[in-house]
């Protein structure tokens, strides 16, 4: 990195390859590296919370183990934070598969988004839900915001718990800025978020928490709450389709857990409060059609 005054805290989250040897090599060569080893947590939030709790600096900059950043990444994103007095600064996120060379499958913020803008956190969080316009990967976050997190260091390990944290950080941020500093997010089929497993159905837990978070910070009938409820209903429909397609691959104990998840979080939904029935009918038809196509 062109900016040199950083510390890199690595959490070895139950690796089964030679990751620990590589980590030890760098830690022995450079005092800016430190590391901790924990049993596999099954979700990104647990190791991330541990690393943040050990951090000494004013700024937190999460980077996932399989992603990449430009050589001037820290310098540019930190400079933008100082220039705008923002609490959070998001980079340009380029999603790629396998090698960096070639076509990027997706880029955020979207092309029409004004990257020179500085906006309130409550406005920014809306752009990360449903019709996503900005990416939340790799953002530079002022450490002081972590005092607001209701789930920080709680050891919860359901899938996407870290995304709940990110939304809560945004809601409590006064100013959010953007930069053309590039974060390369690797998409591959072996990622825990891509594999169909029991954890795939824990999206329902995260969506329920997100809805409660929005209700706490926005008015009950606000556009923001309506948006998260729309997102949540579609999430329930997609999980039910996934269940119909994959239930045969789970054992009896796993099936019971998944059914309980779907029943518990579906009961919370009062459809008439989320959609008018004409829209719901269209969504249900689309869901059935998608299931038939993929079956």
Q: Give the model's pLDDT for residue 182.
A: 92
For residue 209, count other CB atoms closer than 10 A to its CB.
21
Distance between CA 236 and CA 239 in Å, rounded?
5
For residue 185, count other CB atoms closer than 10 A to its CB.
20
Contacts of 254 by beta carbon, 8 Å cutoff, 6+ apart: 198
Q: Give the model's pLDDT for residue 66.
A: 86
**Residue whose entry in the numeric block shows the structure tokens 């389709």:** 241
What does the pLDDT look like over 182-237, one tens digit per residue? Answer: 999 988 765 555 578 898 999 899 999 999 999 999 988 899 998 998 888 888 88
What distance lies between CA 274 and its chain's CA centroid? 24
What distance lies between CA 63 and its chain's CA centroid? 12
Q: Give the model's pLDDT for residue 295.
A: 45
Smallest CA-to-CA distance from 193 within 282, 93, 64 is with: 64
% of the chain with per-residue pLDDT over 70: 87
What does the pLDDT look like over 133-174, one tens digit per residue? Answer: 999 988 999 999 998 888 888 888 888 888 899 999 999 999
C-alpha dist (Å) from residue 140 to 170, 177, 212, 272: 11, 10, 25, 39
């Amino acid at each position: 990195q062109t900016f040199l005054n950083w510390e890199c805290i690595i959490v070895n989250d139950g690796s089964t390859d030679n990751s620990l040897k590589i980590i030890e090599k760098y830690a022995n060569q450079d005092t800016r590296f430190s590391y901790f080893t924990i049993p596999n947590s099954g979700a990104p939030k647990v190791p991330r919370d541990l690393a943040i709790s050990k951090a000494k600096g004013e700024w937190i900059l999460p980077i996932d183990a399989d992603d990449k950043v430009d050589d001037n990444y820290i310098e540019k994103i930190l400079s933008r934070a100082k220039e705008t007095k923002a609490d959070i600064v998001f980079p340009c996120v380029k999603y790629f598969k396998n090698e960096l060379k070639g076509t990027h499958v997706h880029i955020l913020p979207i092309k029409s988004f004004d990257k020179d803008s500085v906006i309130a956190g409550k406005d920014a969080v809306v752009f990360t839900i449903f019709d996503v316009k900005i990416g939340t990967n790799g953002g530079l976050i002022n450490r002081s915001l972590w005092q607001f997190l209701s789930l920080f260091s709680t050891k919860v390990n359901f899938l996407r718990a870290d995304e709940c944290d990110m939304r809560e950080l945004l809601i409590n941020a006064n100013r959010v800025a953007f930069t053309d500093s590039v974060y390369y997010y690797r998409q591959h089929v072996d990622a825990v978020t891509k594999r169909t497993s029991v954890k795939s159905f824990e999206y329902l837990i995260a969506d329920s928490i997100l809805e409660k978070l929005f209700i706490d910070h926005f008015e009950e009938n606000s556009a923001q709450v309506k948006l998260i409820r729309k997102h949540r209903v579609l999430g329930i429909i997609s999980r039910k389709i996934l269940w119909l397609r994959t239930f045969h691959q789970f054992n009896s104990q796993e099936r019971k857990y998944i059914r309980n998840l779907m029943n518990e979080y579906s009961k919370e939904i009062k459809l008439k409060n989320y959609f008018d029935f004409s829209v719901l009918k269209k969504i249900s038809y689309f869901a059935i059609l998608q299931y038939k196509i993929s079956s």
